[in-house]
Structure 1
Amino acid sequence: MIRHATLQDLDAIAALHQEARATYYRGHLPDADFEGPAELARSRQGWAAAVDRGNAVLCAEADGELVGVAAFRPVDGTMSLTQLHVAPAHWRRGTGTRLHAACVAAWRAAGVTTARLEVFEHNERAHAFYTRHGWLPDPVAPRSGNHLVLRLALTAP
């Protein structure tokens, strides 16, 4: 089930976010950049701000457990998928695809025609996922630091 996040979800969202990030940052960034109590608190604050902004945070549930989360918002006039994480224990079960489809549906309903995201250059799993869902390298600015910039042209359903 995909639903909008609430403030009651923040602890589960922050924990999921930290677990997912560790799978692709470990070995590439210092552990303190993505793990530990301080990073967990910082992450929770960021998610709280996103949830406070309204309906831009979606949660995926399976058997009453939060197993995925996605967030999006306009950045510099372009819709940006700022986060999409699935608990590693739930990879390859369609959770990411359902979250992605819910984001795309919300964007279409809002009249969005193009979306943007940044994916960590070493996160090959995520890069392959986005490629399968139609995201292409941004033709103008394909990189932002150690992230690849991708764009999705939204077509009619």
Structure 2
Amino acid sequence: MTQVFASAQALLDAQGLDLGHTDWLTISQQRIDLFAEATGDHQWIHVDPQRAASGPFGACIAHGYLTQALANLFMPQLMSVDNLAMGVNYGCDRVRFPAPVRVASRVRGRGEVLRAEAIGSAVQLVVRISVEIEGQERPGCVVDTISRYTFNPVTE
């Protein structure tokens, strides 16, 4: 279920909140190939199923940056912010790729609000997104996303 925040104070009070997890998503070879086209990264471990079958992972694997980019897909499934004037991606901290994500794997996002602080008229939120791999102990990616949210003025 998506956690909804309706005010700056609600975001500030969310520090430490477990946002739960998203539904499962199957990582298809088509998704990997499209990412390779978008980024120009055509390394054989990602896009050559025959060669990758005899490689170190036994199959094609998703690009690490594709796995990280899924945070952008999962975040709005985990949380939404109402009464927002603007929200921006401010960056990421501590990105890790603990396990490869093989083609046809199912992944989901798990979220936790690590920090929330007022920055001028905005709220800066650090949310850790872990890209869990079904049946695996280690996640495919763990990234601390940083977002800044500015709210519309409250009208009475």
TM above 0.5: no
Q: Which has the higher strand share?
A: 2
When Rg is computed on C-alpha atoms for both structures, the one with the higher figure is 2
* Structure 1 or 2: more helix by fraction: 1
Larger RCO, structure (CA 8 Å, separation 6 or more):
2
- TM-score tier, shorter chain, comes to under 0.3
Normalising by structure 1, what TM-score? 0.24
TM superposition score normalised by structure 2: 0.24
